[in-house]
């Protein structure tokens, strides 16, 4: 089967499930999107790596990368290989000194590792056909791209941040970083940066 390369184009709250997030993968040089519901911890792990934040202590996925690197194992790609009853299945393709091994993985963990290793993400045509979405605008014309990046809203909403002054925002940022709530920290940092650029 031909592999189709994907990239992370968005990370946001899941509309369908409470306390969950959705990572949206986009077909490289294509118009299809593959939304995958993931947990909050995994969303945070992906967001931290995408934003190149440095947590005070290694997160689980950082530990896994460090462990693999210490033993000269490289993650060369991940493959979202199957979809059964709404659950995505993935494989980590790892290369050691003497051979290549495919390891079964939850898709959310595979994506968190892919971001850290900078390796490509693939899936197959049948998965995109059954779970993918073709992006269209309100006029029915197909969109060329979806805005990439960090979550568009923080867990408690962005509107509450607009009521705070810069000093309060900086204090809040320090607090959420201490609590290791990196998704919230990204939203606060974005609010601070938007005010500084005005």
- Domains of the chain, by residue range, sit at 3-134, 161-196
> Bigger pLDDT: 75 or 140?
75
Structure confidence at residue 7 (pLDDT)? 95
Per-residue pLDDT tens digits for 21-63: 888 899 998 888 888 889 888 988 998 898 888 888 888 999 9
pLDDT for 21 equals: 84
For position 162, what pLDDT does the model report?
A: 82
Report which secondary-structure segment, H or E, holds 77: strand 74-84
Average pLDDT over residues 3-29: 82
CATH number of the domain at 3-134, out of 3.10.690.10, 3.90.470.10, 3.40.640.10, 3.20.20.100?
Answer: 3.10.690.10
Q: What pLDDT is recorded for position 6?
A: 96
pLDDT the model gives residue 14: 60
3-state DSSP assignment of residue 19: coil
Region of 141 (left: φ > 0; alpha: ψ -120 to 50; beta: rest) is: beta
Is pLDDT of 16 > 80?
no
φ/ψ (deg, to 5) at 66: -60, -40
Cβ contact 113:92 at 8 Å:
yes
Q: What is the mean pLDDT of residues 147-161?
A: 43
Taking residues 88-98, what's their average pLDDT? 95
| Residue bearing tokens 């390891």 | 103
The percent of residues above 90 in pLDDT, for the chain, comes to: 39
User: The pTM is what?
Assistant: 0.71
Q: Is the pLDDT of residue 144 over 50?
A: no
- The number of C-alpha atoms within 13 Å of 28 and in the hemisphere containing its C-beta is 11
Phi, psi of 14 (to 5 degrees): -75, 130
Residue 10 — pLDDT band, cuts 50, 70, 90? confident
Higher pLDDT, 158 or 79: 79
Distance CA 185, CA 141 (A): 36
């Amino acid at each position: 089967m031909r592999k189709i390369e994907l990239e992370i184009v968005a990370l946001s709250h899941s509309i369908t499930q409470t306390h969950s997030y959705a990572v949206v993968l986009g077909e490289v040089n294509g118009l299809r999107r593959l939304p995958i519901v993931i947990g909050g911890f995994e969303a945070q792990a992906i967001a931290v790596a995408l934003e190149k934040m440095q947590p005070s202590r290694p997160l689980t996925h950082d530990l896994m990368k460090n462990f693999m690197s210490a033993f000269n194992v490289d993650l060369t790609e991940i493959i979202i290989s199957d979809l059964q009853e709404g659950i995505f299945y993935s494989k980590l393709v790892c290369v050691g000194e003497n051979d290549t091994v495919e390891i079964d993985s939850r898709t959310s963990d595979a994506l968190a590792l892919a971001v850290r290793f900078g390796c490509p993400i693939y899936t197959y045509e049948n998965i995109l056909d059954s779970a993918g979405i073709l992006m269209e605008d309100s006029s029915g014309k197909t969109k060329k791209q979806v805005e990439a990046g960090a979550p568009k809203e923080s867990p408690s909403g962005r509107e509450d941040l607009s009521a705070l002054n810069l000093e309060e925002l900086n204090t809040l940022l320090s607090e959420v970083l201490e609590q290791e709530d990196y998704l919230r920290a990204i939203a606060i940092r974005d609010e601070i940066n938007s005010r500084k650029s005005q």
